[in-house]
Structure 1
Amino acid sequence: MKKEILDRIQQLGGNIDKVKGNSLQEDLQSIEFSHPLYTDYYEDELYGIDEFYANNRELYLDNKKEFYDRLLNHFFSDHELPYGQDFYRNFLFTPFKEGTKDFEELDGLVEESEIREVVKGGDLDFICICYSYGYPDHFFICLTDPNPENPTVYSTDHEVFFSEIENEGTFEEYLKRYLTKEEFLEIVKNYIENEKTDK
């Protein structure tokens, strides 16, 4: 995997200590995040910020640094509160590999040939790297991608699982959509300091 990808994962708070470079599957499954990921369009909605501010208004007025520390700890903790975030997960999905638990899971829903029109690779073995509360809600990488150093990320949704697939660009490009803690905090601070009217 490209150094730039690993660097970006670290910037986003991911742990790459177990990445050894032996195989794409092994590397993707060894990456760990202890918190959710927020995309750069979080700024458009700011899910949960008003509620957090209302519940911690006294702390904000008394100690802004402590307020923002708690805010970051809250939003970047291991929770599944619906704030519009994505979750890094790295589970295998092997619908065309005999003998696996997923084999034939797509039977009657989509043909292998249809998937091959969009997905580049040999065997159609996947790792779903992220899921979200939005649409689409699953993002995956084909383990036989022709460019394992920077594979393509594809998306689909549970309602049209693999019958509708979109190319989301390379893994490196895909990771750029997520905010670092510092970028997240800058957006939230700007909103609270400049747009909250009940301070």
Structure 2
Amino acid sequence: MKKEIINRILDLGGTFKEGLTLQECIEGIEFNHPLYPQELWGHELYGVEEFYDKKKDLYKQDKDRFYKSLISHFFSDHEIPYGQTFYRKRLFTPLTEGTNDYEEWSADFEDEEMTNLTEVKKVIGNGKLEFMEIAFSYSFPDGYYICLSDPNPENPTVFGTDHEVYFEEITNEGTLEDFLSKFYTKKEFLELVKNYIEKEKNSH
């Protein structure tokens, strides 16, 4: 996998174990905390107001401890709805006979009215339609996939779809490198939150 992707995974607080195949590389990525999307979370700062209100005494007593507590809270293994994205690595095989996905999805994937795979086929051509679901989120699209037959396994394309229009509408989210660049590192996250709290809560 591309060096820049590995470095970004590490910057985001994840770990990476190299594999021989694209699937093994995706399975070798681990995050023990959510990821915070810049476009969504950066405008709203979901949860920060509530956290500050609960911990403002600590903030006044010891800012360093306050910010350490904040980072520990937001970057822990939880699913509190803060508009974040969760990394996952679920194999999705709707056209592979003998799999549970095939039993559930094959008819839909063979029915052009039920799916629109144009964006996928622009990238993979006639490649096999086996995917890894790499992330889910609270926003649209809420599911992100990589096709295992991607012609560029060093930096594959990420596709988005949503449970309300599952594979009827698919968006090209750019390469995996592009996709990972859309999330905050802990350092970037902390700088944003500090700027907000210092200006909006304690400017007087």
* Correspondent of 2:171 among 159, 166, 183: 166
Structure 1 counterpart of 2:86: 87
Counterpart Cα distance in 1 of 2:42 and 2:117: 35
The answer to whether residue 144 in structure 2 is matched with residue 145 in structure 1 is no
Which one-letter code corresponds to 1:33 in the other structure? F
- Please state how far the C-alpha of 1:110 moved relative to its aligned partner: 4.5
Contact 1:131 1:137 in 2 (8 A): yes
Which one-letter code corresponds to 2:11 in the other structure? Q
Q: Deviations over 1:84-112 (max 9, x none)?
A: 00000010000000011100433454447
* Correspondent of 1:24 among 19, 22, 25: 22
Which one-letter code corresponds to 1:8 in the other structure? R
Report the 3-state secondary structure (helix = DSSP H, G, I; strand = E; otherwise coil) of the residue aligned with 2:102: coil
The answer to whether residue 11 in structure 2 is matched with residue 11 in structure 1 is yes
Contact 2:158 2:172 in 1 (8 A): yes
Contact 2:92 2:132 in 1 (8 A): yes
* Correspondent of 1:125 among 107, 120, 130: 130
Percent identity, aligned pairs only? 55
Contact 1:141 1:151 in 2 (8 A): yes
After superposition, where does 1:1-199 map in structure 2 within 5 Å?
Answer: 1-16=1-16, 18-20=17-19, 22-41=20-39, 42-107=41-106, 109-111=108-110, 115-119=116-120, 120-121=123-124, 122-196=127-201
Which one-letter code corresponds to 2:32 in the other structure? S
**Please, what TM-score do these two structures have when normalized by structure 2?**
0.92
Contact 1:109 1:163 in 2 (8 A): no
Worse-matched range after superposition: 188-197 or 166-175: 188-197
Q: Deviations over 1:26-68 (max 9, x none)?
A: 0101210000000112120110001000000100000000000
Counterpart Cα distance in 2 of 1:59 and 1:3: 40
Which one-letter code corresponds to 1:48 in the other structure? G
- Please state how far the C-alpha of 1:118 moved relative to its aligned partner: 1.3
Count, aligned residues: 197
* Larger fraction in helix: 2
> Once superposed, what is the RMSD of the aligned Cα atoms?
1.6
Gaps of 5+ in 2: none
Report the 3-state secondary structure (helix = DSSP H, G, I; strand = E; otherwise coil) of the residue aligned with 1:118: helix
Gaps of 5+ in 1: none
Counterpart Cα distance in 2 of 1:108 and 1:162: 13
Report the 3-state secondary structure (helix = DSSP H, G, I; strand = E; otherwise coil) of the residue aligned with 2:177: helix
